[in-house]
């Protein structure tokens, strides 16, 4: 074994979604397997990785600002790697913008990471891993370095074939490609065997999952993972309305281990804007799916994504989005101003809505949604909910928990015995806020 002082060191910083977080876990596992040692700061590292996101312009700019800040370390012999969506989007242009970068690799090429590391160690100054979107390969590794010992991710489908007008993902993540049913189930069982009780299935369009063997649907996969002994909670994100069937709601109704929470991005409440976005459903079609969720025997929490100020969105069409949120009664909304992204069809549309107006619409939407959430969360006061313990807020003297509906529930206890992180506890809800609940441990 190589002494620790002689091991090459690495640092990873991750930007963006859960897919990126889990990709980083797999990248870290690969590096550890290759004999590298992970460190906590850029200053300590021989090799610095930035796993990047390009969903919004600000995320992309943040990466280049970070690279610019750290070019001062080049003289120390450090090497820098840009991986993920910005890497695939910008390609070798990154070398021009940041000459101190040695590796540029998109997410579809991570399976070749070991080979790229060898090239870097051999002294190659510019190493690239940039697959086109036609790849059929997924990134699977048994060396995933999971950052949480109780809650873990499993990627079941990579890439996207939807080509929404505003979205860069199909160009940075490649085409949709699913893992086999058996490989997903085997990974879930392995995680359960080492103590994981909360599993989240991931994909850009997770419910577009299609078993390559052609035998199992997404709903059947949910049933199978939810029935693995030891697993108490199964979540999934992100769903696309186009693939959302009633069989998913039926599965949640039938199996208590499937969490009573669905994230179903709508993006706009206007059918005309949805058509312009190339979302391939109408307001009415989306509301039909919401009706399935609302009619379930279990009370299923709903969250969504919304873009305001998409090119051509009129004030009346923005108001349609507001009325849709009132109809849906979402428990949470991730809302953003439209920003143009490279290579997307929306770039050819006239973005005539001033940024000031976009900000105004975003503020209105967030305030209306805050009112909805305040009313929804107040209804939970007096109920006893099960939480998974996530940590402790020392400043407030509270234990941090999360419900099956993915709501943060902070609680106190009179007992000297504090529930351990990763355990489950029943909590009486005593107060509510627009984004969280407060309660007391039920002894």
Exposed e or buried b per residue across 44-82, where buried means at least 16 C-beta atoms within 10 angstroms of its C-beta: ebbbbbbbbbbbbeebbebbbebbeebeebeeeebbbbb
Task: Write out the E strands in 131-218.
Answer: 151-155, 157-158, 177-178, 198-202
The pLDDT value recorded for residue 54 is 82
HSE toward the beta carbon, residue 107, CA cutoff 13 A: 34
CB atoms within 10 A of CB 183: 16
Measured between alpha carbons, how far is 149 from 146 in angstroms, rounded to an integer?
7
The pLDDT value recorded for residue 238 is 94
Measured between alpha carbons, how far is 426 from 152 in angstroms, rounded to an integer?
22
In Å, how far from its chain's centre is CA 275? 25
Measured between alpha carbons, how far is 148 from 231 in angstroms, rounded to an integer?
15
Does residue 367 have a cis bond before it (omega within 30 degrees)?
no
Measured between alpha carbons, how far is 318 from 332 in angstroms, rounded to an integer?
18
The pLDDT value recorded for residue 3 is 54
Task: Write out the E strands in 119-196.
Answer: 127-129, 151-155, 157-158, 177-178
Measured between alpha carbons, how far is 14 from 23 in angstroms, rounded to an integer?
9
The pLDDT value recorded for residue 145 is 82
Cα distance between the two ends of the chain: 49
DSSP letter at 66? Answer: H
Q: Six-digit token pair at 268?
A: 């706009």
Domains of the chain: 4-129 (3.40.50.12160), 151-378 (3.80.30.20), 384-441 (2.40.50.140)
Place of tokens 């949805």: 274
Measured between alpha carbons, how far is 173 from 73 in angstroms, rounded to an integer?
30
Measured between alpha carbons, how far is 400 from 415 in angstroms, rounded to an integer?
16
Question: With contact defined as beta carbons under 8 Å apart, do 61 and 23 qualify?
Answer: no
Pairing outcome for strands 9-14 and 157-158 = unpaired
Cα dist. 297→250, 252, 253, 254, 294 in Å?
9, 9, 6, 9, 8
Task: Write out the E strands in 207-286.
Answer: 233-237, 261-263
Tell me the H-state helices in 18-150: 18-33, 57-70, 85-90, 93-97, 113-121
One DSSP character per residue, 346-380 reads GGGS---S-HHHHHHHHHHHHHHHHHHHHHHHHTT
Cα dist. 78→36, 73, 110, 145 in Å?
14, 6, 21, 23
Q: Six-digit token pair at 180?
A: 């086999």
Q: Six-digit token pair at 71?
A: 């070019």
- Spell out the residues 6+ positions from residue 390 whose beta carbon is closer than 8 angstroms to its own: 400, 401, 402, 421
The pLDDT value recorded for residue 195 is 95
Q: Six-digit token pair at 70?
A: 């750290």
CB atoms within 10 A of CB 416: 5
The pLDDT value recorded for residue 173 is 87
The pLDDT value recorded for residue 200 is 97
Question: With contact defined as beta carbons under 8 Å apart, do 116 and 105 qualify?
Answer: yes
Measured between alpha carbons, how far is 369 from 364 in angstroms, rounded to an integer?
9
β-sheet bridge partners, residue 105: 83, 129
CB atoms within 10 A of CB 86: 28
CA angle 368, 370, 373 (to 5 degrees): 115
Element (H, E) at 317: helix 315-328
Q: Six-digit token pair at 370?
A: 């805050």
Residues of the chain with pLDDT under 70: 1-6, 132-133
């Amino acid at each position: 074994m190589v002494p620790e002082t002689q091991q090459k060191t690495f640092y990873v910083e991750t930007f963006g979604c859960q897919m990126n977080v889990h990709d980083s876990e797999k990248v870290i596992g690969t590096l550890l397997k290759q004999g590298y040692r992970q460190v906590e700061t850029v200053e300590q590292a021989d090799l610095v990785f930035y796993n990047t996101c390009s969903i919004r312009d600000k995320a992309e700019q943040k990466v280049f600002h970070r690279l610019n800040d750290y070019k001062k370390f080049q003289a120390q012999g450090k090497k820098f790697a840009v991986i993920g969506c910005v890497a695939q989007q910008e390609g070798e242009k990154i070398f021009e913008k940041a000459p101190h970068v040695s590796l540029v690799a998109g997410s579809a090429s991570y399976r070749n990471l070991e080979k790229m590391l060898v090239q870097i160690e051999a002294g190659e100054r510019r190493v690239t891993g940039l697959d086109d979107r036609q790849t059929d390969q997924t990134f699977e590794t048994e060396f995933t370095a999971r950052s949480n010992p109780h809650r873990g991710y499993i990627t079941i489908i990579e890439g996207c074939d939807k080509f929404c007008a505003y979205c860069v993902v199909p160009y940075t993540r490649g085409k949709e490609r699913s893992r086999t049913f058996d490989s997903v189930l085997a990974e879930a069982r392995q995680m359960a065997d080492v103590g994981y009780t909360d599993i989240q299935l991931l994909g850009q369009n997770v419910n577009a999952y299609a078993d390559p063997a052609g035998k199992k649907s997404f709903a059947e996969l949910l049933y199978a993972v939810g029935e693995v002994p030891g697993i108490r909670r199964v979540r999934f994100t992100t769903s696309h309305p186009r693939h959302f069937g009633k069989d998913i709601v039926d599965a949640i109704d039938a199996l208590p281990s499937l969490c009573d929470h669905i994230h179903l991005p709508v993006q706009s409440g206007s059918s005309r804007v949805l058509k312009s976005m190339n979302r391939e459903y109408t307001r009415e079609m989306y509301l039909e799916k919401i009706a399935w969720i609302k009619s379930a025997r279990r009370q299923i929490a709903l969250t969504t994504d919304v873009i305001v100020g998409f090119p051509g969105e009129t004030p009346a069409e923005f108001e349609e989005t507001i009325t849709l949120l009132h109809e849906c009664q979402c428990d949470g909304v991730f809302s953003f101003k439209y920003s143009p992204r490279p290579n997307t069809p929306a770039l050819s549309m006239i973005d005539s809505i001033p940024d000031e107006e976009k900000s105004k619409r975003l503020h209105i939407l967030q305030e209306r949604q805050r009112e909805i959430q305040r009313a929804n969360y107040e209804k939970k006061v007096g109920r006893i909910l099960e939480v998974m313990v996530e940590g402790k807020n020392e400043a407030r003297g509270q234990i941090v928990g999360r419900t099956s509906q993915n709501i943060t529930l902070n609680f106190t206890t009179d007992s000297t015995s504090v529930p351990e992180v990763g355990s489950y506890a029943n909590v009486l809800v005593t107060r509510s806020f627009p984004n969280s609940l407060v309660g007391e441990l039920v002894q």
